[in-house]
Amino acid sequence: MILKKIKSKGLAHLSYFIGSGSYAAVVDPRRDVEVYIDIAREEGMTIEHVFETHRNEDYIIGSRELQERTGCEVHHHEQTEWGYGSDVAEGDSFDLGQLRLDILHTPGHTFDSISVAVYDTDFSKEDAVGVFTGDALFIGDVGRTDFFPDQREHVAGLLYDSLFDKILPLGDQTILYPAHGAGSACGDNMAARAFSTLGYERRHNSMLQKTDRDEFVQHKASEFHHMPMYFERMHAANQEGPELLHDAVGELPRPMKAPEVEQFRQDGGLVLDIRGAEAFGGAHIPGSLNITLPMLSSYIGYQVGFDVPIAPVTYNLAQFEEAWTQLQRIDYLKVEGWLEGGMEEWAINALPFATIPQIFVEEINRRYDEDEEFLLLDVRKRGEAEKGMLQGAQHIFVGELADKLDEVRDTRPIVTFCGTGYRASNAASILLRNGFDRVENFLGSMKACKQAQCPLE
C-alpha cells in the first residue's frame, strides 16, 4: 500500500497516486500524466480509477489523458453534467486491493466537490487512515467560496457543513491530502508545512476555529480573491472533458531565429519574456511581456488570451521546456516557437532592444527624503496592499492593469512595485507595451522596504 504525492510547480497543485497490491488510483491527475504511468510501472500496479475531487478551474485535468493511455475509469460527482467519465455520489465505495475508498459529497468550493476517505480494511473498516479533500480543506486554510458571487453565503454555508459534518468527523487520526499546497492561488493562508492530519487542523487551522456557522459564513462571504479570466475556460474545459494533448499539440515548439521572432512580432504574435526582472530590464525585445517563470502559471491567466500566438524569450532551452510544460497544463497551447540564442542572438542581428532601469531601495528612500516627484505604482493583490502600502502609492493589481491603464496617475516617472520586484517588472512591461514612458522597476520592492524602512502610509 503506497501513497505518493506528486507536486506540480507553478500552481502548487498536488495530485496523488494510491495503490494496494496490483491496483492503483490517481486523484486529480495533471495533464502530463507520464509521472503516474511511471509510478505504476515501477510498482507493478495497474491504474484502475481516477477521482476528480471537483471541476477544476485552475488547470486542465489529466483524467481523459490517463484514461486514453491506461484504460482506467474516471469518476466525478453526479451534481454536474460531465462530457466524459462516470458519476459517483455520497456513499459510493471502491475497493483497491485491501484499501477501501469512500466518496463523501463535500460541496462549498464548488457544488460538485467530493472528498475521498481511505480505509485499510485489514485493520479497520470504520476508521479512516487518510482523506483526499480536494479544494475543500487545505493545510492551514479552507477552499475559496467566491465562484458563485450571487450565492456567496449559501456556498460558504455548504463548505462549513462539509468541513464540520463530513470531513472532521472522520477523526483526528486521519491524514490530510489536499489538492494544493503553499503558493497556490486557491487559498492565501496555506501553511508552508506539507503534511498534516485532521486532528492537527481541527486544532490549528484558523478557519476551523470558527465553529460558529454564522461567523464562518460571514468570514468567507467577505473574503476577496482575484479571479484570472482563464478560470472560466478551465472550468468549462474540465466539465466537457479537455482535449487530449496529442490531439491538441505536437512536439516541443521549434527554435526561432531572431529575424523570425521579429516577423512573428510584426504579425501580431506575443513575445513572452520569462526571464528575471533584472535581465528583462537589461535588454528586452520592444513590446514583449515579462512574466518571470516562477509566476507564469499563476499570472498569465489574467493577461493573455488563449488564442494569442506566443513566442517565449528565455535564458536557455531548459527554461523554455519548463515554461512549455506549465503552459500546457493550463491550456496555453499556441506556443509557436522560442527565441534560440536569447537576447545575445537578438542583439547581434542588429535588432533594436529596450531597457527598464532597475531601482534600488535606497534610491527610493532618497526620493522620498528629497521629495522628488514620482509615481509608485503598487501592483500587488488587493489583500497584500491592504496590509500596508508605501506613502503616496497608487494601487492597481497587475492582473487588472491592462484594463485600467486610464486610471494610472499622470505623475512621472512611474516606479512599479510589488513584493520582490518580479510582478512589478510584469507591470512595467505592460506599461511599456501600452506606450507609457519613463517606467522604472523597483527591484526588491516590499521585502527590501521592510529592511530599509521605507515610509509606509
Name residues contacting a second copy, limited to 310-349 (CB under 8 A).
315, 317-319, 340-344, 347-349
**Pick from 99, 104, 95: nearest CA to 124:** 99
Of 89, 248, 452, 456, the residue at the interface with a second copy (CB under 8 A) is 452
Contact 31, 247 (CB under 8 A): no
Q: Which is nearer to a second copy, 127 or 403 (CB)?
A: 127
Return the range that interacts with a second copy (CB under 8 A); candidates 105-113, 127-135, 156-164, 296-304: 127-135
Q: Which is nearer to a second copy, 23 or 59 (CB)?
A: 23
Contact 169, 102 (CB under 8 A): no
By rule CB under 8 A, what count of residues binds a second copy? 88
Decide if residue 124 touches a second copy (CB under 8 A).
Answer: yes
What residues are paired with 254 via a beta bridge?
Answer: 337
Q: Which cell goes with 234?
A: 478551465
Q: Which is nearer to a second copy, 306 or 374 (CB)?
A: 374
Return the range that interacts with a second copy (CB under 8 A); candidates 144-152, 154-162, 208-216, 357-365: 357-365
* Residues sharing a CB contact under 8 Å with residue 150, sequence separation 6 or more, in sequence order: none
Of 93, 95, 148, 193, the residue at the interface with a second copy (CB under 8 A) is 193
Q: Which is nearer to a second copy, 91 or 250 (CB)?
A: 250
Binders in 56-115 for a second copy, by CB under 8 A: 69-70, 98
Decide if residue 367 touches a second copy (CB under 8 A).
Answer: no
Q: Which is nearer to a second copy, 190 or 217 (CB)?
A: 190
Report in angstroms how near the CB of residue 162 gets to a second copy at its nearest.
20
* Residues sharing a CB contact under 8 Å with residue 246, sequence separation 6 or more, in sequence order: none
b or e along 31-69 (b: 16 or more beta carbons within 10 Å of the residue's beta carbon)?
A: bbbebbbebbeeeebebbbbbbbbbbbbbbbbbbbbbeb
Decide if residue 35 touches a second copy (CB under 8 A).
Answer: no
Cα–Cα distance between 186 and 135 in angstroms, integer? 8
Q: Which is nearer to a second copy, 171 or 306 (CB)?
A: 171
CA dist list (Å): 25 to 22, 255, 411 = 11, 38, 57
Return the range that interacts with a second copy (CB under 8 A); candidates 197-205, 218-226, 229-237, 262-270: 197-205
- Edge-to-edge strand list for the sheet holding 358-359: 358-359, 439-442, 414-417, 375-378, 394-395
Report in angstroms how near the CB of residue 214 gets to a second copy at its nearest.
25
Binders in 159-178 for a second copy, by CB under 8 A: 171-175
Of 91, 149, 150, 192, the residue at the interface with a second copy (CB under 8 A) is 192
Contact 298, 10 (CB under 8 A): yes
Binders in 230-259 for a second copy, by CB under 8 A: 246, 250-252, 254-255, 257
Give the contact letters, 396-415, x = binds to a second copy (CB under 8 A), - = no.
--------------------
Backbone angles phi, psi at 232, to 5 degrees: -65, -45
Report in angstroms how near the CB of residue 342 gets to a second copy at its nearest.
7
| Inter-axis angle of helices 296-303 and 317-329, nearest 10 | 60
Cα–Cα distance between 406 and 93 in angstroms, integer? 56
Stated as kind and residue range, the H or E segment containing 51 is strand 46-51
Binders in 286-315 for a second copy, by CB under 8 A: 315
Binders in 432-451 for a second copy, by CB under 8 A: 443-445, 447-449, 451
Q: Which cell goes with 392?
A: 503616496
Report in angstroms how near the CB of residue 80 gets to a second copy at its nearest.
29
Report in angstroms how near the CB of residue 4 gets to a second copy at its nearest.
9
Decide if residue 369 touches a second copy (CB under 8 A).
Answer: no
Contact 273, 323 (CB under 8 A): no
CA dist list (Å): 422 to 41, 379, 446 = 40, 10, 11
Report in angstroms how near the CB of residue 77 gets to a second copy at its nearest.
25
Binders in 38-57 for a second copy, by CB under 8 A: 41-42, 44, 46
